[in-house]
Structure 1
Amino acid sequence: MQSVLSGITPNDIRLAPFPHVFVRDVLDDETHRALSASFPPFSMIGWDNPKAKPGSNRRYQLSAWPIQNHPDLPDVWKEFVTLHSSPAFFAEVVALFRDHWPAALKATLGGDLLGHSMGMLMRDQFDRARILQDARVEINTPVTAGPSSSRGPHLDTPNRLFTCLYYMRHPDDDAVGGDLELFRWKDGPISNIHCYALPEDAVEVVSVIPYRANQMVIFPQGIDAIHGVGIRHPTPHTRRYVFISAEIEENWLVSPAAAA
């Protein structure tokens, strides 16, 4: 199996509104179809109780470590999450964005993102590994109430190193909305950058990446890496994707407005 970064180079990086790569048809059709057909059901990700209905447009997740050890998931899923939570994949990410890693992050890691002990979220702790990775299945449940966004404009957690989203929209999903929106600051970063959703008057949408099957978006964490999920309209379908990331223990990302 090849990684979602196979064949991608720094020439593919788009700089506006922040450094990111957006690629369609990332995996070969056979692999994508196999993953899509065996995407873990809600009973694995949420709970196994059909009488307990989840809320509208709520997020649930299943990390790589339990996927690797789940007796009912096929080898294609175990191979996929193992590859994308490996030091080899992390090295691919580091090389891809070699000219775009924030200085504060590099300083926190002693000047270099490579050469550190590596582990997996849920399996390991930061006392054993400097960097923890994950490649987890995530879903947003069907929209059974009014139109809503599962997450408005925001920055990811301040200890994150990068975010990679691999979309796995179901072939029958005809839902409206749920696209990835990329934002920029209107007047520079605010001091409270880690609220659940940034104030709408502080940011503006620059581009929209449609929610499509077999599509990948990846970007380094940074003060300008503002993104969110567009409004989803009522639908019985589940929004499906894989969230690939790496984290350190320290909250290295700080707003210049707060630091001042």
Structure 2
Amino acid sequence: MKNRLSILSNASKADIFSEPYPHIIIKNALDPTVFKRLADEYPDPAIVLNGREKKDTWYDYPACSALQNNNISPIWQEFLAYHTSSAFYQELLQLFGDIIKQWHPQLEQTFGKRLEDFSISMRQNGAADNPKNYLSDVSLECQFYVNYTEQSKAVRGPHVDRPTELFAALLYFRQDDDDSIGSNLDVCQAIDPAHVHPGKKILVDHLPMEVEPKKVSVVRTAEYEANTLVLFINSEKSIHAVSPRTATKTPRKHINFTADLFSLNDKGLFKVVHRTDKRLKNWLADKPVIWRLAKFISN
């Protein structure tokens, strides 16, 4: 029997889109009664800010911190604990295990074991900089997010996630008084795949891992609606974007889920390459006099 708090409780293999990369978009991902209780008890934004100054940007609050905070309600404690557990990892594999093996056939050989036998832990603060996150094969994260856009702005254009990330997911907690437009997640694909992601690598245009919008098209959109889940398997093809959001005093709320394979280090699941001409152009632009040459280097 599936866990009633699981974001995959209403998902099946029939829901999986295979192109341009494996992903699901599930409306009413959780039982409405369960979701309402979670929404009603979503932590105050001040808890998520955790002492940081409020600005027009995003803030996260990881599971390892939230589970030590008595102000986080019991149902949220249970939710965070489950989605950073071996049980959730195994549930994910029941849905995506064969697909992960198809997209990343080197993983089991690299780790010397089956995906099902990977060791699991909750991700600790510091991510790749924390040695504790290398003690297990997979580090799971389930964290609160609030994003302020009191001035209209783009949230983030087309990009890929870090190469050590196995999957990513978002569960939206849009509030009833949120009158903003946008902030949806767009599933994108390269217009010219051979030019953008030849082989097991992606050629990015800007730091950290951004792709020019003109080089992608939107295949599918996960609307920013309460109780909507979007989850995808990470790869060099997993380009996605968050659409611009109009100004509002109401923060964007969601839960972010990830699984990291930090021990892969620089190997990753794929390679990120910054275009040589772009690097040269940026270098010239910082130099006295010859900065004018930068404009003659094509993108």
| Partner residue in 1 for 2:85 | 86
- Structure-1-length-normalised TM-score: 0.89
| Partner residue in 2 for 1:113 | 115
Structure 1 residue 80: deviation in Å?
Answer: 0.6
| Partner residue in 2 for 1:6 | 9
* Alpha-carbon distance in structure 1 between the residues aligned to 2:113 and 2:236: 19
* Alpha-carbon distance in structure 2 between the residues aligned to 1:239 and 1:256: 29
Structure 1 residue 253: deviation in Å?
Answer: 2.5
1:105 touches 1:252 (CA, 8 Å); kept in 2?
A: no
* Alpha-carbon distance in structure 1 between the residues aligned to 2:58 and 2:185: 15
* Alpha-carbon distance in structure 2 between the residues aligned to 1:199 and 1:166: 26
- Structure-2-length-normalised TM-score: 0.78
Structure 1 residue 63: deviation in Å?
Answer: 0.8
| Partner residue in 1 for 2:179 | 174
Letter in 2 for 1:191: L
When Rg is computed on C-alpha atoms for both structures, the one with the higher figure is 2
* Alpha-carbon distance in structure 2 between the residues aligned to 1:257 and 1:243: 26
Q: Secondary structure, in 3 states, of the residue corresponding to 1:99?
A: helix
Identity among equivalent pairs (%): 26
* Alpha-carbon distance in structure 2 between the residues aligned to 1:32 and 1:217: 15
Could you tell me which runs of 5 or more consecutive residues in structure 2 were left unpaired when the two chains were aligned. 126-130, 275-299
1:144 touches 1:235 (CA, 8 Å); kept in 2?
A: yes
* Alpha-carbon distance in structure 1 between the residues aligned to 2:96 and 2:113: 15
* Alpha-carbon distance in structure 2 between the residues aligned to 1:73 and 1:125: 24
1:198 pairs with one of 211, 220, 225: 211
* Alpha-carbon distance in structure 2 between the residues aligned to 1:121 and 1:226: 24
Larger RCO (CA within 8 A; separation ≥ 6): 1
Matches for 1:1-260 after TM superposition, within 5 Å: 1-48=4-51, 52=53, 54-56=54-56, 58-101=57-100, 102=103, 103-110=105-112, 112-122=114-124, 125-141=132-148, 143-145=149-151, 147-188=152-193, 189=197, 190-192=202-204, 195-249=208-262, 250=264, 251-255=267-271
Letter in 2 for 1:165: L
* Alpha-carbon distance in structure 1 between the residues aligned to 2:189 and 2:227: 26
* Alpha-carbon distance in structure 1 between the residues aligned to 2:258 and 2:31: 22
Structure 1 residue 13: deviation in Å?
Answer: 0.6
Query: Aligned residues, how many?
Result: 252
* Alpha-carbon distance in structure 2 between the residues aligned to 1:192 and 1:242: 27
Letter in 2 for 1:140: N
Q: Which has the larger helix fraction?
A: 2
What do the CA deviations read for 1:224-243 (whole angstroms, capped 9, x no partner)?
11111001011111111111
* Alpha-carbon distance in structure 2 between the residues aligned to 1:42 and 1:229: 21
Distance 1:236-1:21 versus aligned 2 partners, 3 A rule: same
Letter in 1 for 2:13: P
> Aligned Cα RMSD in Å?
2.1
Structure 1 residue 9: deviation in Å?
Answer: 2.0
